[in-house]
Amino acid sequence: MPITAAYDRAITIFAPDGRIYQVEYAFETVRRGWTSLGIRTSSASVIAAEKRRVLPLADEKSVRKIFRVDDHIGATYAGMAGDGRVLLDYAIQQTLYYRFIYDEPIPVEHLVKLVCDVKQIYTQHAGVRPFGVAIIFAGVDDRGLHLYMTEPSGNYIGYYAIAIGEKSNVVQDFLEKNYKYDLDTKSTIKLAIQAIVNIIESKPYENFIEVGYVDKETRKFKLLSESEIKEYIEELGREGKIKV
């Protein structure tokens, strides 16, 4: 009998080697999700995500992968869409509570901790399952620009560049080879788009990509329109960095 047969039936049971298999299965759900990425440089924090046509008659424009959590924070996810939606709704509520109580924007890491607290609780109670989603938060506050990735286990880590999802290995390899900290905002956005375009099979690319960013100057999170993404793609094509 496989060792998992005795220890993966409940979230409250540790395997002899110290593993919680239900949490590891949640990580596998993330690895099977649509790819998302985040990049933080000296000028901006950018997040980008791929979208796919779920069914032939489905409207891909109705699918959302990037969300404005607050004026200064955006987020994207990989994994179970329902789990991501619930946690991002919770994150939005927490930003509103913080503004109401303290009359100022919520610090990025504080919000990430609140979301991870919920994720962690769901790894230790019987009758529940872990959230099968990883979320990338990009934002800015008085401490500067931030990029965090939250794991199904409730852990979080800050990154300069990170990719999650089905083709994250390809994207991560690309980022490790091409990342530079001193990029300006436009170059950071172009790097994110170039990384995500490399794994997209459908055209036109702008219909299957979402991009959002927050920069040090405006300190506002902005979602790029399809026309703006198209302009970046055409520019990358003229530079010979992607095939348009």
Q: 244 falls in which pLDDT band (50, 70, 90)?
A: confident
Residue 1 binned pLDDT confidence (cut-offs 50, 70, 90): very low
Q: Which domain holds residue 74?
A: 17-53+62-238
| 45: in domain | yes
Q: Spell out a b/e string for 60-82, using b for 16 or more CB atoms within 10 Å of the CB, else e.
A: eeebebbbbbbbbbbbbbbbbbe
The CATH number given to whatever domain includes residue 28 is 3.60.20.10
Q: Is 110 helix (H, G, I), strand (E, B) or coil?
A: helix
Show Cβ contacts of residue 73 under 8 Å, excluding neighbours closer than 6 positions: 95, 106, 108, 111, 137, 138, 139, 214, 221
Comparing 1-10, 40-49, 118-127, 138-147, the range with the smallest average pLDDT is 1-10
9 in a structural domain: no
Q: How many domains does the structure of the chain reveal? A: 1
Residue 105 lies in a domain: yes
7 domain-assigned: no
Q: Is the pLDDT of residue 138 over 60?
A: yes
d(CA 223, CA 112): 20
The C-alpha angle with vertex 107 and arms to 106 and 111, in degrees rounded to 5, equals: 75
The Cβ of residue 172 has, within 10 Å, a number of other Cβ atoms equal to 17
Could you tell me if residue 10 is inside a domain?
A: no
Nearest partner of 158 among 175, 136, 142, judged by Cα: 136
Q: What is the pTM of this model?
A: 0.95
Please, which pLDDT band fits residue 53 given cuts at 50, 70 and 90?
confident
CB 171 within 8 A of CB 47: no
Q: Is the pLDDT of residue 2 over 80?
A: no
Task: Assess if residue 4 is contained within a domain.
Answer: no
Domain for residue 221, yes or no?
Answer: yes
Q: Is residue 164 part of a domain?
A: yes
**How is 33-48 classified by DSSP, letter by letter?**
SPPEEEEE-SSEEEEE
Structure confidence at residue 27 (pLDDT)? 96
92's torsion region: left (phi>0), alpha (psi -120 to 50) or beta?
Answer: alpha
Q: How far apart (Å, rounded) are the C-alpha atoms in residues 174 and 85?
A: 28
Per the listing, tokens 């099979």 go with 201
Amino acid occupying residue 114 = L
